[in-house]
Amino acid sequence: MAFSSSLSRLTSSAQRGSACVLSYQIVMSDIISGRDINLDDAKRLAKEIAALLGSEPKPNRKMVMGKPYSPYQIPIHTDEFYCFVKVSDRSYGFKAERRPKKGFVGDFFVSLKEPSGFMFATKFVPEAYTTLGVRVYRQPFATDEEIVQKAVSPN
């Protein structure tokens, strides 16, 4: 169905005061795929694919303009990626997003050029200054030797 006829149908139903939401859903499906999605077929296909992948299908309620609507997604995550197989009644797609890097606790913090009060890096390290050529400030619990050793190490 053409977009213009769907738009005129939406306008006429809004003027009559009838169920505008239903017309909006029809317009959305016409714009995105040109047809309605058979949810029963999509669910059956999602279960078949999930069985092959050893996972379970989950409902996907997100609808993105310009992308085909997939009412089901199958998670198949790895250590480095969040992965999903998006499933519709006649098509499927794959989406992967990199997992955020996990933070780690450092041994100490240094500030270059200026002291950092909020991180307590206020102690000037003269030997690191002569080695690096830039002012280096350390936290009180770190030693000058430790800072210089890390500053000149290749790692």
Query: Using 50, 70 and 90 to split pLDDT, how confident is the model at 155?
Result: low
- pLDDT of 10 over the 70 cut: no
Kindly state whether residues 133 and 78 are assigned to the same domain: no
Using alpha carbons, select from 94, 98, 58 the residue that is nearest to residue 79: 98
Give pTM, 2 decimals: 0.45
CA distance 44 to 29: 20
Residues in the chain: 155
Q: Which domain holds residue 125?
A: 110-152
Give residue 46's pLDDT band: very low, low, confident or very high (50, 70, 90): very high
Residues 143 and 99 in one domain: no
Answer yes or no: do 118 and 91 share one domain. no
Q: Are residues 52 and 88 in the same domain?
A: yes
67, 72, 76, 80 alpha-carbon torsion, rounded to 10°: 40
Out of 63, 87, 103, pick the residue that ends a domain: 103
CA–CA dist 127, 88 (Å, integer)? 64
Whether 29 and 61 share a structural domain = no
Q: What is the pLDDT of residue 81?
A: 87
Q: In the predicted model, is pLDDT for residue 43 greater than 50?
A: yes
